[in-house]
Amino acid sequence: MITLNITDFPNRQRQVLENIEKELSAGTLQVGGCLGNELALSKRLDVSRNTIRHVILELEKRGVVRNIARRGIFLDASFQLKNGNGNKNDFKHCFYARWCDSMQEGEISYFLERFACENDLPFKVINVRQSIPTLVKLIDHLSPEEVLLLMPVDTPPVQEALERALERGVRVLQLDRYLSGLKTPVVMFDNYAGAMLGVRHLLQKHGLPVWFYGYKTPVTSLLRYRAWAEAMTDYGFSPEEYIIPCDDEEPDAEQRPNEFYLQCFRDFVKEVPPLPMAVFCLCDRLARNVYIVAEENGLEIGRDFFPVGFDDLPFASRLNPPLTTLRGGSEKLVQAAGEMLLNWPELSDLCRLLPVELIERSGR
C-alpha cells in the first residue's frame, strides 16, 4: 500500500483523493478496477475536469493509477492518506551500491543524490567497482536501520548475502532488474511490453522478419528476448531462425563486451545475410554496432538495415540517421524508487513496472 501525504495536494484535489479512498475502504473499488475517464470522474465527484487531470497526473507519477487512452483510468495500487512526512525518517542510512561506472549507473547515482537532498534523506553512493567480494562485504555490514538500493548482480554470493540481510531486517530495493526468489520490492521498466512495442513497430513498418541481436541475461534482457520471440511467432516467423550468433559463454562476452558483440555482428554480415534487414537490438550500444558495420561495408541505415535500440542513450539522437529506440529513463526510475523510500510498501515482493515509450526518429 502506498501512503500519500494529504498536505502535498491542494484542497479540491484532496476531496478527490478522499472520495477514492472511501470507495477503496467500502470495497466498491478494487486494485485493477476502472475509475472511469476524466469527464466521468469530474461529474461523479463534482469537481472540475482540470482538478481531476492534475490529481491523476500526480497519482500516475506515484504508481497509484494508470491512464489508458480510450479505455479509462485504472487503479494500479491501493493507497492511504496521512498527514505529515510519512515514514521517511525511520531508517538511519540509505545506500546505493553502484556496481560499475556505466552511463546508466552514473545517471541513477546523480538522480538519487538529488532526490535525497530534496527530501532530506541520509544517503550515500558506494562504488563497489564490479567486485563481488566488496559488494558482499557491504551487504553483510548493513544493520536493520539501513536501506540498500542496487541493480542486483545475478551471482550466488550476492543473492545469499541479500537473503542474510533480509533476515536481519535490512530493507532492500532492487532497481531495473531483480533476482528470482528474493522477496524485496522492485522498481523496473516494463521491458517485455517495451520490447514488444519495438519489434511490432519493425514488423508492421517494414514487413520483414526481425533479427535478434543481443544476449539473454540478466532478467531484463531475457524479458526483451521473450517479447521479441513472441512477436515473431505471432507474425508467423520461427524465432530460432533469426538470431544473430553471439556465444555468451565466451570469456570476452563478459570481459570485453563492446568488442565482442561488435565482432559478432561483423562476422554475421560477412556471411552475406539477406538485405534489407530489420534488427531488434537489445540496447542502444548494440544498435550503434549496426551503424559501424554498415559503414564498414558500404551499406546504409534506412536502406539495408532497420535497427531499433533500447534505452535512448544520449548518442542515439546524434547518430546519422538518428536511431529509433525505446525509452524508459533513469530519472523516472529514481522518482519511483524515491516514492518507495518515503512510503515503504507493506508487500515485500511488490514489483512496480514503469512504462516504456517508442521514440521513432527520421530515417526509419
Assess if residue 231 is contained within a domain. Answer: yes
The pLDDT assigned to 349 comes to 66
Residue listed under C-alpha cell 484532496 = 14
Distance CA 123, CA 115 (A): 10
The values of phi and psi at residue 143, to 5°, are -105, 165
The pLDDT assigned to 253 comes to 66
Q: Print pLDDT tens along the chain (364 aa).
A: 787 877 677 767 888 888 888 888 888 888 889 999 999 888 888 888 888 998 999 899 888 999 998 889 999 888 877 754 444 446 889 999 999 887 788 889 999 999 999 888 899 999 999 999 999 999 999 999 899 999 999 899 999 999 999 999 999 999 999 998 898 999 999 999 999 999 999 999 999 999 999 998 888 899 999 999 999 999 999 999 999 999 777 776 666 788 999 999 999 999 877 899 999 999 999 999 999 999 999 999 999 999 999 999 889 999 999 999 999 988 999 999 998 888 887 666 688 999 999 999 975 4
Of the residues 158, 184, 210, the one at which a domain ends:
184
Q: CATH code at 249? A: 3.40.50.2300
Of the residues 138, 164, 184, the one at which a domain ends:
184
Query: What nine digits make up the cell of 176?
Result: 531495473
The pLDDT assigned to 363 comes to 52
CA dihedral for 200, 201, 202, 204, sign (positive or negative): positive
Query: What nine digits make up the cell of 80?
Result: 492511504
For residues 305 and 195, membership in a common domain is answered with: yes
Assess if residue 163 is contained within a domain. Answer: yes
**SS3 of residue 274 by DSSP:** coil
For residues 179 and 196, membership in a common domain is answered with: no
The pLDDT assigned to 84 comes to 47
The number of folded domains in the chain is: 3
The Cα-based distances of 232 to 134, 327, 363 in angstroms read 42, 21, 23
The pLDDT assigned to 3 comes to 79
Distance CA 47, CA 65 (A): 19
Q: What is the largest CA-CA distance in the chain?
A: 67
Under 8 Å between Cβ of 341 and 121: yes
CA angle (200, 204, 206) in 5-degree steps:
115
Peptide bond into 218 cis (omega under 30): yes
Strand partners, 305: 277, 301
For residues 107 and 152, membership in a common domain is answered with: yes
Of the residues 120, 150, 184, the one at which a domain ends:
184
Assess if residue 356 is contained within a domain. Answer: no
For residues 276 and 168, membership in a common domain is answered with: no
- Provide the domain limits for residue 104: 93-184
For residues 171 and 206, membership in a common domain is answered with: no
